[in-house]
Chain A
Amino acid sequence: MSASTLVLTVLAGLSAASVLFLVASGLSLVFGALRVINMAHGSLYMVAAFLTTAIVKFFSQPTIGFVLALVLAPAAVALIGALIEVLVLRRLYGREHLLQLLATYALVLVFAGGVRIVFGSQNLIVRPPEFLTGGVSLGTLTFPTYKFFLMFAALVVAAGLYVLLYRTTLGRNIRAAVADPELLNASGVNVARLFTTVFMIGAGLAALGGVLISPDQAVGLGMDTDVLVAAFAISVIGGLGSLMGSFVGALIVGLATSFGIMFPQTSRWSLAFIFVLMAVVLMIRPWGLFGRPETS
């Protein structure tokens, strides 16, 4: 592999990891605090991408539309998240996981049908802001400007999440919920409100991923399940409930896929690697690389 191919492979892996990190961190946070595997997490990502197409279309200037979408779509999806938590999940805490899975899977179907009714079945595209189109020249190489923006955005969100979790009272309570929900219950924190807030943050992160990915791929009806599978693998590898786990997990998945594709011998199996890795982690360290074993 030549040096230029190596650089491009690393960049491709990092840019793929960026959006996956955002989505996986939301999934992981919700599981960590609420102990719910939200199958509809990918649906929230898809809804945000479709909302982005509508917002960008509404404004003739794509930059204004896209910047507004970065704020409005996650806010709208966070509100949808609040409704899901209050109306559906709140009734299922403490019940068996199967019920939670079924309920959130039902939401997957509801969102898929709803998006189809509102936006139709046609794939849609979003034009990125002018200044993010085209490529950046790196000597003899060219790499898309927008993909650099994705990496930058993921780093900003990662830093923001770190500050939220480790430097605020809300973050302290969330970490307490992840570590020991029963103790938190006894400490006088309004757990119901905390859970709604956490779910809104998780939904907002999925939505942010959906907005950011929309200028880089077809916005279509399959994107909910596509992203969920990858986000789930990342969360399991990194450790459900761990921000660092999502970060490292996303890097592993992004880079493993990118390098896997580059070699003819492994190209066909590059996706399988991720799931093999997931299975190995589950066998050796079921709580993931950065997770904590569940205390009974």
Chain B
Amino acid sequence: MNRLPTLSKKCLALLPALLLVASACGGTTTGGGTTFKGTKKVGLSTSLTGSVASYGQAGLNGMQMAIDDVNNKGGVNGYKIELDQADDAAVASRGTDNAKRLILEDKVVALFGAVSSGVCLAESPIAKQNSIPFITFTCNDFNLTTTKFQPYIASVVPNTYMEGRAIAEYLGKQSKYQTYYVIAPDYSFGHTEADAFKARLKEINPSAKIIGEDYPPLGATAYAPYINKILAAKPDIVYSNIYSGDLVTFVTQAKPFDFFNKVSFSTLTSTDDLQTLGTSFPTNLLGYARAPFYAIDTPENKDFVQRYQARFLKFPSEWAIMGYDAYNLWANAANKAGDFAADKVMAKIVGQPFKSLRGTFTIRAIDHQADVPEWVGVTATNPLYPFPTFATATLVPGASLLMSEADVKKLQPTS
């Protein structure tokens, strides 16, 4: 006799959980005072473990903030959007597995790109096969929008061609730098960016010489032999695009050699690495950055930085800012299209201006690459932050960095 009421109580306790499951399966949901038609998922396969995980996590944080902001304003086409995340550990095969699962099983309506260009290059064809918008905001190998171009891609990050040119123009115009040493990670990003840098440098300063090149593997931990080699070569300046944990390791191992007092050094500087190294990050370093939070003078960015700090207790890095921009690009386009179908959404992305934290830019029709800028500058102690920043951050306009349409056409697949 006693068992029945007990069971009923258990069933009652289960009811809220069942209701939650039902709502997740497509019922009407509410949130932030809005009534939604249901929920849809967007996918993010990125590096949440492995040597570049800090960048992946920052991108995830930025996207999550954008998703929450858009949901609070009514969502996309009346639907609440949820983020479906997967870890690729910067391994291309895991990226493709994730992309397939997110698209085919979880039915995401858009896919957002990874940290590693190698992973993005592997994922892009899967997005194409399944007609899913694929928005990249960290990986930036220019092949994504040229030799491997496909109609459902859009890039809100300056690509390797643009970034390589930006730093070549910055360094190449300084006549004191005549001999260069190149050090870059041994995969698509490192090589394509170093190639773009070298090509542009040759145009700006034909007398400049590359006196040495090294391509350590991504995730290298022993830089002492490279450091010795660079010091022995005595270049005027080192051009580097090593990043994340690799850059932290390089700086940590180079400092006891008095490296940064002996050689001028130029590298990709991310807020993540600045925060990790703090005051150990070298000053007088000639850096380049894709979206340094402290240099972007828009009210939207200032508001974002404040809210990001309050939520995640750290400064937003470039990947968080561009993750926020990437989601807003897709969400605004899907809202304008009034549909989730990839062709309709892409029609509202391609050739259209989009408002971002960094300002208003356009996704170019020919390659779906945004004309977003790069920032360059010399690092110096900044009393406002517990790490050095660019003393003067100079914005290099994206329009001046884009590959010419004729060159893009030559590289893109013909069919």
Task: Report which A residues bind B (CB closer than 8 A).
Answer: 2, 4-5, 8-9, 11-13, 15-16, 112-113, 116, 120-125, 133-135, 142-147, 213, 215-218, 220-223, 225-227, 257-258, 261-262, 264, 267-268, 271
Contacts and interface: CB of A to CB of B under 8 A. Distances in A.
Contacts of B16: none
Contact of B224 (A15, A133, A267, A268): A15
Taking residues whose C-beta sits less than 8 angstroms from the other chain, chain B's interface range is 35 or more
Given A216-B252, A222-B219, 16 more contacts: A5-B229, A12-B224, A112-B49, A116-B48, A116-B49, A122-B272, A123-B276, A125-B276, A134-B256, A145-B256, A217-B249, A218-B276, A222-B89, A257-B222, A267-B214, A267-B215
B273 to A, nearest CB: 7
Contacts of A264: 212-213
Contacts of B249: 216-218
Contacts of B226: 261
Interface string B261-283: 00000000000110111001000
A75 B90 CA distance: 32
B219 A135 contact: no
A119 to B, nearest CB: 11
Q: Which of A146, A218, A221 has the most CB of B within 10 A?
A: A218
12 contacts: A9-B228, A16-B224, A113-B49, A116-B48, A120-B57, A123-B248, A123-B272, A217-B245, A218-B248, A220-B53, A225-B50, A261-B225
B348 to A, nearest CB: 33
A190 B273 CA distance: 50
Contact of B50 (A213, A222, A271): A222
A12 B275 contact: no
A258 B224 contact: yes
A44 to B, nearest CB: 16
A121 B48 contact: yes
A121 B56 contact: yes
B256 A221 contact: no
A227 B54 CA distance: 19
A220 B90 CA distance: 14
B150 interface: no
Does more than half of chain B's interface fall in helix, strand or loop, or is it mixed?
helix
A217 B226 CA distance: 15
B276 A144 contact: no
Interface string B229-249: 100100000000000111011
B384 to A, nearest CB: 20
A2 B44 CA distance: 50
Interface string B66-102: 0000000000000000000000011000000000000
A46 to B, nearest CB: 10
A4 B231 CA distance: 11
Nearest to B275: A122
B355 interface: no
Nearest to B313: A120
A2 B232 contact: yes
A218 B53 contact: no
B186 interface: yes
Contacts of B48: 116, 121
B407 to A, nearest CB: 28
A221 B276 CA distance: 14
Contacts of A146: 256
B277 A125 contact: yes
Contacts of A121: 48-49, 53-54, 56-57
B257 interface: yes
A124 B276 contact: yes
B51 interface: yes
A177 B48 CA distance: 40
B105 interface: no
B303 interface: no
Contact of A262 (B57, B225, B256, B275): B225
A2 B217 CA distance: 26
B221 interface: yes
A125 B276 CA distance: 7
Q: Which of B49, B90, B213, B215 has the most CB of A within 10 A?
A: B49
B53 A221 contact: yes
Contacts of A134: 256
B344 interface: no
Nearest to A126: B252
B253 A222 contact: no
B7 to A, nearest CB: 35
B409 interface: no
A142 B258 contact: yes
B51 A221 contact: yes
Contact of A125 (B54, B186, B252): B252
A11 B222 CA distance: 12
B55 to A, nearest CB: 9
Contact of B245 (A8, A133, A222): A222
A258 B57 contact: no
Nearest to B314: A122
B49 A222 contact: yes
Given A116-B49, A221-B51, A216 B253 contact: yes
A12 B228 contact: yes
A257 B89 CA distance: 25
B346 to A, nearest CB: 31
A121 B216 CA distance: 23
B257 A142 contact: yes
A222 B51 contact: yes
Given A113-B49, A123-B272, A257 B253 contact: no
A261 B245 contact: no
Contacts of B216: 261
Q: Which of B225, B232, B280, B314 has the most CB of A within 10 A?
A: B225
B54 A217 contact: no
Interface string B388-399: 000000000000
Contacts of A112: 49, 89
Nearest to A222: B51
A262 B244 CA distance: 24
